[in-house]
């Protein structure tokens, strides 16, 4: 086993490094900057060049974070390591590991649909593929993002006509920026919550452009509240908080969990099923393209995917936590 699951996370003993460790370790390779993957306290981190500023924000400005360009190869104790785009959020990476001719790829979180706010997923051939399975149920099938963005912009325009401010909930890193990039600034003013705004410099440094946003402060809010802005904010900024500042508010949430009714149908007026994870067909397409004979499945509906893969001839196993139930709260699961 070139990579095994230990209490601290995925571990490559030949190279003596961890991938997305859940506890402090000596050397950590980080697939992306979501909090369930990038934990503080390790001695040294390695991630992609474009993901580095985001990972640095997560693990602390004083932490040692090194980076690689996508496709650049280094050797760690004789193990060849390279990073390849995962298409999940800016800088998100798959980790390719080669040792004595044997190749493993760890996917991290990924999606296949091109996204204006991150690098596009790269298919990497390997002998063993460790895949996520967040939405590994056959009924998860995403619509094209252009359709979702049209729905969001139409919803915003309609709210605006009715004299209502629009609040769209989205996880602060990744989803919020993707929603922002898809907005039509011709409809009205746009504001983003400070926890969203703090990540924008890293995106702009990577050459990603966004519609103009207004600063989220009391002065600006007083000036523009009659213009019915759209606000992008994480779940902790609820509709009741927005109503205190903006008056009448319509709220929505953007997440893959919004498909089939979603968790927030009782909380929000609308749900937009925009996910940064592969849907069922996407997972199967990614797995097939690796040409791997061994598949390890983690992070999600593991048993469903393993059982299906076995039925079509793969040597598939669950690695780590067993079948997950849908999370109790949207913000418990970064997308
Ligand atoms: Zn993630």
Please say if the pLDDT value at position 130 is more than 80: yes
Q: Return the residue matching tokens 């967040």.
A: 134
pLDDT of residue 74: 98
pLDDT of residue 261: 58
Instruction: Give whole-number Cα distances, 236 to 115, 196, 218, 241, 284, in Å.
Output: 25, 12, 18, 9, 34
Q: Please report which residue ranges of 126-171 form alpha helices under DSSP H.
A: 145-161
Please say if the pLDDT value at position 326 is more than 50: no
What is the arithmetic mean of pLDDT over 43-53?
A: 98
pTM (predicted TM-score): 0.94
Residue 31 Cα, ligand 1 centroid: separation in angstroms? Answer: 9
Residue 92 Cα, ligand 1 centroid: separation in angstroms? Answer: 8
- The neighbouring-strand residues paired with 64 are 44
pLDDT band at 330 (very low <50, low <70, confident <90, very high): very low
pLDDT of residue 259: 81
What is the arithmetic mean of pLDDT over 104-120?
A: 98
pLDDT digits (tens, 9 = 90+) for 150-167: 999 999 999 999 999 999
Residue 54 Cα, ligand 1 centroid: separation in angstroms? Answer: 12
Domains parsed from the chain with CATH numbers: 4-140+276-332 (3.60.15.10), 145-272 (3.40.50.10710)
Residue 257 Cα, ligand 1 centroid: separation in angstroms? Answer: 14
The residue with greater pLDDT, 259 or 271, is 271
Q: Which two tokens stand for residue 169?
A: 């909930």
Cα separation, 256 vs 275, in Å, equals: 4
pLDDT digits (tens, 9 = 90+) for 185-217: 999 999 999 999 999 999 999 999 999 999 999
pLDDT of residue 265: 58
Please, are residues 124 and 84 in contact by the beta-carbon 8 Å criterion? yes
What is the arithmetic mean of pLDDT over 114-126?
A: 98
């Amino acid at each position: 086993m070139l990579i095994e699951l230990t209490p601290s996370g995925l571990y490559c003993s030949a190279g003596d490094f961890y991938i997305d460790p859940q506890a402090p370790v000596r050397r950590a390779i980080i697939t992306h900057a979501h909090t369930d993957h990038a934990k503080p306290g390790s001695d040294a981190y390695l991630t992609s060049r474009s993901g580095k500023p985001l990972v640095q924000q997560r693990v602390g400005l004083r932490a040692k974070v090194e980076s690689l360009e996508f496709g650049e190869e280094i050797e760690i104790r004789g193990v060849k390591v390279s990073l390849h785009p995962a298409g999940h959020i800016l800088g998100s990476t798959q980790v390719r590991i080669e040792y004595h001719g044997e190749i493993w790829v760890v996917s991290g979180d990924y999606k296949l649909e091109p996204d204006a706010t991150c690098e596009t997923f790269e298919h990497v051939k390997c002998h063993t593929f460790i895949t996520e399975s967040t939405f590994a149920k056959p009924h998860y099938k995403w619509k094209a993002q252009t359709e979702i963005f049209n729905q969001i912009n139409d919803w915003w325009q309609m709210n605006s006509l009715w004299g209502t401010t629009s609040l769209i909930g989205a996880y602060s890193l990744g989803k919020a920026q993707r929603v922002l990039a898809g907005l039509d600034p011709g409809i009205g003013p746009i504001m983003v919550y400070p926890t969203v705004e703090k990540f924008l410099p890293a995106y702009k440094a990577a050459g990603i452009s966004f519609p103009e946003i207004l600063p989220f402060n009391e002065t600006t809010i007083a000036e523009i509240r009659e213009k019915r802005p759209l606000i992008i904010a994480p779940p902790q900024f609820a509709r009741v908080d927005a109503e205190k500042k903006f008056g009448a508010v319509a709220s929505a949430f953007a997440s893959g969990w919004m498909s089939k009714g979603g968790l927030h149908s009782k909380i929000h007026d609308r749900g937009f099923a925009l996910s940064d994870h592969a849907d069922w067909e996407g997972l199967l397409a990614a797995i097939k393209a690796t040409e791997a004979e061994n598949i390890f499945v983690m992070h999600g509906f593991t048993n469903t995917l393993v059982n299906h893969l076995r039925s079509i001839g793969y040597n598939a196993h669950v690695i780590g936590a067993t079948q997950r139930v849908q999370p109790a709260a949207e913000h418990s699961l970064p997308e």
